[in-house]
Amino acid sequence: MNTTFSLLFYLKKPKTYETGPVPIYLRITVNSQRAEASTGRECIPDKWIPSAGRASGNKEESKALNTYLDTIQTKVYEAHRQLLNSGNLITAETLKNKYIGKGEKPRSLVKIFENHNKQIEALVGSEYASGTLQRYKTSLKHTIDFLKWKYSVSDIDIRQVDHAFITEFEFYLRSVRKCNNNSAVKYIKNFGKVIRICIANDWLEKNPFRNYKAKIKEVERAYLNNEEIQAIANKRFKSERLNQVRDIFLFSCYTGLAYADVKKLDSSQISMGIDGEKWIYTHRQKTDTRATIPLLPMALEILEKYKNHPQCLNSGKLLPVLSNQKMNSYLKEIADFCEIEKELTYHIARHTFATTITLTNGVSIESVSKMLGHKNLTITQHYAKILDRKVSDDMMLLSEKLSSKPKSRLSKIN
């Protein structure tokens, strides 16, 4: 159905009017039906042009008033566009209400964020990992703390989030919270998901991230070389718990499985591969991508060692994995005992598999990517860059060795 739409600014003199400024009203007309609203401004009749619906003259006062009325007109046209796009019935009254915000339920940033986190929590274990939920909870806490720090409020209308809000939030994370670049970018990225939800629901007219750019900086990923792996494998600890943590860590070095995937590993994920040998067939908990990994002899030995462990028998899992915090705590002790200066964490095992165990030994990057369960090859290529750097370092050492030897004379070619 076609609708006719127009608007007009006019002076509305009160019944008792005698002299002085007169209130300026906005009249919205849709299909001959009218609705009126006060603009909150006044003008002296002698300085008003009825046909234009604007103040006359070039003085700053008249220019400012006309600019204000232009802004109102733009907002009314935008309200009309939104109603048109949403398919709602357009009347003079509904258009006026849309413009002034009447009947719109205010939506607050923190409540929307909290509702998002509740939905994530309900899907933990099926679609999301517990670590994902924790990251969003931390992002929400930083958001609440920022609102108190910057605006002295506990929540705000979602429509108040603009580009300036984003940049100030980033500044707060970097300065007050002392977050490094990648942590700050990740928290902003988590916040951005909530903003995308608001845009999809038409709760925000503009995307505050439109002109925002921030990049994750590549971090040098530590990994163990062959000598360090052997030092850990050959070490015998007096503490049986340290031996257990060492074995499980080495299992990840030879399979590339992350902590969460080793913890949930059970017999249903072990099957015969196309070569007649045992393979791991699993889905990564972090990304839910499929990973297929042929089991190397060292990994098979570790599984065999713990097949009758009480914890494995009770839980139905293949390895007696401790909490991630405890594993990392024991790995620090192992590093000290083995005189390894690198900060040893469980995730280093995954990096070690990608570099020292596979790529260094000629396994194709495509195969490594599939075993790691990466979504695309670009992620795996980062490990190849690490190896390129190692090649460069090795060649520099070789160059130094060669330069220290007596130089041989090349025979001249006549």
204-221: pLDDT as tens digits: 878 999 888 887 776 667
80-139: pLDDT as tens digits: 888 888 777 788 888 888 888 765 567 899 999 999 999 999 988 777 877 788 999 999
Asked if the model's pLDDT at residue 236 lies above 60, the reply is yes
The secondary element (H helix, E strand) that includes residue 136 is helix 130-151
Asked if the model's pLDDT at residue 176 lies above 80, the reply is yes
Asked if the model's pLDDT at residue 412 lies above 70, the reply is no
Looking at residue 409, what is its pLDDT? Answer: 55
Looking up tokens 């951005």 gives: 192
Q: How far apart are CA 169 and CA 179, in angstroms?
A: 12
Looking at residue 201, what is its pLDDT? Answer: 84
Q: How many C-beta neighbours within 10 Å does residue 62 have?
A: 16
Average pLDDT over residues 349-360: 89
Asked if the model's pLDDT at residue 298 lies above 90, the reply is yes
Asked if the model's pLDDT at residue 287 lies above 80, the reply is no
Tokens of 40: 């909150």
Q: Categorize the per-residue pLDDT at 332 as very low, low, confident or very high, splitting at 50, 70 and 90.
A: very high
Q: Categorize the per-residue pLDDT at 408 as very low, low, confident or very high, splitting at 50, 70 and 90.
A: low
31-65: pLDDT as tens digits: 888 999 999 999 999 999 999 999 998 899 999 99
DSSP-H helix ranges across 152-269: 163-175, 181-200, 226-234, 240-255, 259-263
Tokens of 166: 């984003």
Asked if the model's pLDDT at residue 28 lies above 90, the reply is yes
User: Contact at 8 Å (CB) between 292 and 374?
Assistant: no
Asked if the model's pLDDT at residue 302 lies above 60, the reply is yes
Tokens of 275: 């070569």
Looking at residue 218, what is its pLDDT? Answer: 65
Between 140 and 85, name the one with better pLDDT. 140
Q: Sort strands 278-283 and 270-272 into parallel, antiparallel or unpaired.
A: antiparallel
356-382: pLDDT as tens digits: 898 888 888 888 888 888 877 777 777
Considering the chain, what percentage of its residues have pLDDT values greater than 90? 55
Asked if the model's pLDDT at residue 389 lies above 80, the reply is no
Q: Categorize the per-residue pLDDT at 414 as very low, low, confident or very high, splitting at 50, 70 and 90.
A: very low
Nearest partner of 315 among 363, 355, 263, judged by Cα: 263
Considering the chain, what percentage of its residues have pLDDT values greater than 70? 92
Phi-psi region of 198 (alpha: psi -120 to 50; beta: other; left: phi over 0): alpha
Q: Categorize the per-residue pLDDT at 71 as very low, low, confident or very high, splitting at 50, 70 and 90.
A: very high
Q: How far apart are CA 353 and CA 253, in angstroms?
A: 5
239-265: pLDDT as tens digits: 999 999 999 999 999 999 999 899 999
Between 393 and 175, name the one with better pLDDT. 175
Cα distances (Å, whole numbers) of residue 15 to 19, 22, 40, 42, 396: 12, 11, 18, 16, 93
8-21: pLDDT as tens digits: 999 998 888 888 89
